[in-house]
Amino acid sequence: MRRKDREITDTEELLAIIRANKVCRLGMADGSQPYVVPLNYGFEFDTGGLVLYFHGAGEGKKIDILKKNSRVCFEIDGEHGLSEGKNACEYGFYFASVIGFGNACFIDSEAEKARALAALMRHQTGEDRAFAFSPAQLSAVTVFKVTALSFTGKRRAPPPDAGPPMPG
């Protein structure tokens, strides 16, 4: 990382960014053509590392690409804010982001699908409770996970007297 002064090395800080945001941009490679799609996500983190969960339709460009190439890059960001200046080149932007690399894997078992969808629901709703899914619901949705091989974070924090960050 070029800007070591902005690097986030503390795992809890990285997880706080992941917890605070709702959209993950998933980067894939369709041959030599990059493809990025924003997705809602859920996640789990434990001694096994970071796992992100996603769901969607059973067909489409994203699914086709992942079936051919499971290697992905992911990005999550927030804490946005404008830093104003007197001149154009004095402006800046505050942010916090997490970027990582991993492998995508489709989930077929009903039990693992339910676990993944429950993690997604807990994250998206902010409700720490059990979620139930019928067999019909589980069979109607495609669920995949990204097991992170690595992830890093970066933050440009506003000064203490700045207003609250923009939602995002």
Residue 4 is predicted with a pLDDT of: 65
Calculate the CA 24 to chain-centre distance.
Answer: 3
14 touches 153 (CB < 8 A): yes
Q: In angstroms, rounded to a whole number, what is the distance separating the alpha carbons of residues 82 and 94?
A: 6
Task: Please name which of 101, 111, 106 lies closest in space to residue 57, comparing C-alpha atoms.
Answer: 106
**Residue 9 DSSP code:** -
The predicted model scores a pTM of 0.90
Joined tokens for residue 24: 């993950």
Joined tokens for residue 62: 């994203």
Calculate the CA 142 to chain-centre distance.
Answer: 18
* 144 Cβ neighbours under 8 A, 6+ residues apart: 53, 54, 55, 66, 104, 105, 106, 107
- What are the sequence ranges of the domains in the chain? 4-156
Residue 145 is predicted with a pLDDT of: 98
Considering the chain, what percentage of its residues have pLDDT values greater than 90? 76
| CATH class of the domain defined by 4-156 | mainly beta
Joined tokens for residue 80: 């946005």
Residue 1 is predicted with a pLDDT of: 59
Q: pLDDT of 98-118, one tens digit each?
A: 999 999 999 999 999 999 999
Residues of the chain with pLDDT under 50: none
Can you say whether the dihedral through the CA atoms of 50, 51, 53, 59 is positive or negative?
A: positive
